[in-house]
Amino acid sequence: MRLFTLTRLVTAEGRRASGRLIGMAGGIAVGVALLLLLLGGYDGVTSRSERLSWPSLSHGESTELRDPAAAAPTDESVLAATNLEHFDGQEIIRVDIVATPDSTVVVPGVGRPPAAGTYHASPALIALIEANPTDTLGSRYGTRAGVIDTAGLAGPDSLVVVTGTTTENLRGPSVGMVGSVFLSGNVWSVTEFRGVSYPNSNYRALTIIGAIAILLPVLILVGIVTRLGAATRAERFAALRLIGATPRRVAAIAATEAGVTSLVGALTGVALAWLLIPVAALVEMEDGRFFRADLTVPPSTVLIVVAGVVAGCTAVAGWRTSRARIGPLGGSRERTERRPSALGVVPLIAGVVVLLGATTAALRHGPLPRTDQVLIAGFLLLLVGLIAAGPVLTYWISRVAARRAHRTAGVIAMNRIQQHPRATFRAVSGLVAAVFLVSFFSAGITTLAEEPPTEDSEYLSSSTLVAWFSPPPPDDANAVASNITAVAAAAARIARTDGVTATAIGSSHPETGAVFTAADAARVGLSNHDSASHIQVTGSAFGDGSLVTRPATAPGTTPRTLLVATDGTTHSVERARTAILGSELRLQSPTMTQADHESARSRTWADRYANLGHLAVLVATLISAVSLAVSSIAAILDRKRVLGLLRLMGMPVSTVRRVIVAEAALPLATVFALCVGLGILTAWFIVAGLTEGRRTINWLPPSYYLILATSLVLAATAVLATFRTARTSTTIEATRIG
């Protein structure tokens, strides 16, 4: 008889056998879909970062110019400067370029540089320009000449504009942060624009650690579903051995069954991943969504994943069957597992030691070489160690619990756990991993927490704009004089802008901050408690912390900052901002309100990964619940003969249920506190180690405890869902004595 025909007759006959195969294929489909989305997301983060970081200019073939006024573009190079602008709480990346008419330099997403007075903008920015009056936004850039395509944009929400200008009007310097990219604002001579896959090693480490963490519950799920119905298969294989089938033939049948089932599941997973790409693209990172193309895996990668899954499942099934040495009576007996060795806890201890060592060295400001890679290795060791140590700890605790057990359910459950510690722990391994990952990601996300700004009289009004000037050369008297005149004239023009209520020019203070006259301070809402003729202002939008005012002597002659008070409407604020940007003032930093300043300060590099952290928590929690339900049902099906015999001897079904609960509760209770503690501690290791102690984790928010409680509720629900299987699989009619 042909192998495929024999396999179909042996493994797929009957409703329950078909359900088992469907369950295996479904679990593999979910695993493959998540794996493909994970691979696509990893590549998407890389390409997204390259498209996000090209405006920083320093990553390509470029040279920073010390004297931009003396430089000129050539056909092979352009002059460029990147600035950060704001509009109604949103950040806009502006790249100003000076190019010759025959320039050969290619601008990402644009092509040839735009001519002076024209601009190319992202679709999202074009929509924003068209939705608002021209004098609030559109007039900042000139005449639209085209649209930036996806090659120059991080995502569909990106607000980017590339403008053509002249050397005289090239804006700079201005500094700022957009996402994870630092915009120096200096003028560069660029021959090739190019981004980087990761702004620094911290981002790469976080991405790899996140990918490993999400991959773990996926692998656990695939491993669990491939063992579904192992005892039933063993019975059928024993029957084959009884009629003369060789062990090799039986192993070939098992491998064929696993290969065909995994192929169906893998192909279904490919289709499922393709359907989920639009949903996954909605996840925001770096303040924007992904393009769908970012999450699409190349066909070659899909083929490798499918082939790898099918080959792996086939090989493992054949190897397990050969190693089981099923004889003519092998399907009717449970074999006691080999007692787990204490060596199983070594990887866990090693992982903690590696993480602790790397973090300690970083805190002492003597970081180890390639600290990011050391932390990744330690994290991987700890994850593997957690799964490897589970059966060992479960076995130790079950021995203690067995001596204290007095009820029937406890005695049966504890003794079976001692005989099968690996199988028992495997059933809850998905939930164990979820508890660790939920704690890890939830603690890591707390590092982005910032105190909200205080709304009181010591803060500038949120409708007041602050513009800092670039000081002229101090040894050039003519430049200083012309600068004073230009600032005064610009302030007068800006004061006439519709919606502007007052302007105030602050002069440089010898120490820090700016000095205003009492009259100017009163017009823009600065407090003057001492009724001094001049006040010095520091803090708030002038720096960090509360706004501080104190009496000062008469100001110097160099204008330092301009405050522009508005009537508070969005159009008035943005109209005034556009007027400032359209003036000839040389700005040192982006023109911002206090709200803009607080928003930019609170968006840290950790904040950029917050949504991915929340997504990882969700994935880990859901997969753990599915894994626990599948593994619990599989354990019941594998032991239905033993449980059925107990039912024949008079054991009530309620006792069987208590046995099931005890077998699920003990391994989870054994490592629950360990997983919570290790998750939080590992998050601190990673955060402190990557930042050399500049950042740490905070108290976990109430949402963490809610998520943890939800995980336990899902686990309880998964166990309760197995009660029906336990009842129907252990009836007198269903019990067969071999």
pLDDT tens by residue, 683-724: 899 888 888 877 788 888 787 888 788 777 877 776 776 666
Between CA 731 and CA 229 the distance in angstroms is 18
Q: How confident is the model at residue 452 (pLDDT cuts 50, 70, 90)?
A: very low
Between CA 384 and CA 673 the distance in angstroms is 18
Identify the pLDDT of residue 456. Answer: 39
Between CA 635 and CA 230 the distance in angstroms is 9
Element (H, E) at 96: strand 90-98
Q: How confident is the model at residue 545 (pLDDT cuts 50, 70, 90)?
A: very low
Between CA 663 and CA 669 the distance in angstroms is 10
pLDDT tens by residue, 547-565: 677 788 777 778 888 899 9
Identify the pLDDT of residue 455. Answer: 39
Size of the chain in residues: 738
3-state secondary structure of 160: strand
Give 87's contacts (C-beta < 8 A, 6+ positions apart): 128, 132, 136, 137, 159, 574, 577
> CA nearest 74: which of 52, 98, 96, 91?
98
Between CA 477 and CA 473 the distance in angstroms is 8
Between CA 379 and CA 685 the distance in angstroms is 9
> What is the average pLDDT across 277-306?
84
Between CA 638 and CA 16 the distance in angstroms is 13
Q: How confident is the model at residue 176 (pLDDT cuts 50, 70, 90)?
A: low
Q: pLDDT averaged over the chain? A: 79
Read out DSSP for 263-301?
HHHHHHHHHHHHHHHHHHTT--BTTBPPPGGGGPPPHHH
Between CA 355 and CA 474 the distance in angstroms is 51
> What is the average pLDDT across 229-239?
65
Identify the pLDDT of residue 449. Answer: 47
Burial class (CB in 10 A: 0-12, 13-18, 19+), 130: exposed
In this predicted model, which residue has the larger pLDDT, 36 or 456? 36
Between CA 253 and CA 228 the distance in angstroms is 16
Identify the pLDDT of residue 738. Answer: 44
Between CA 207 and CA 154 the distance in angstroms is 17
Identify the pLDDT of residue 160. Answer: 93
Whether the per-residue pLDDT at 331 is higher than 70: the answer is no
In this predicted model, which residue has the larger pLDDT, 341 or 121? 121
Structure-block tokens of residue 729: 């699989």
> What is the average pLDDT across 44-64?
82
Q: How confident is the model at residue 268 (pLDDT cuts 50, 70, 90)?
A: very high
Prediction pTM value: 0.74
Lowest mean pLDDT among 104-118, 252-266, 303-317, 625-639: 625-639
Between CA 28 and CA 21 the distance in angstroms is 11
Q: How confident is the model at residue 607 (pLDDT cuts 50, 70, 90)?
A: low
pLDDT tens by residue, 567-588: 989 999 999 999 988 887 777 7
Q: How confident is the model at residue 172 (pLDDT cuts 50, 70, 90)?
A: low
Please state whether beta strands 188-192 and 61-64 pair in parallel, antiparallel, or not at all (unpaired): antiparallel
> What is the average pLDDT across 293-312?
90
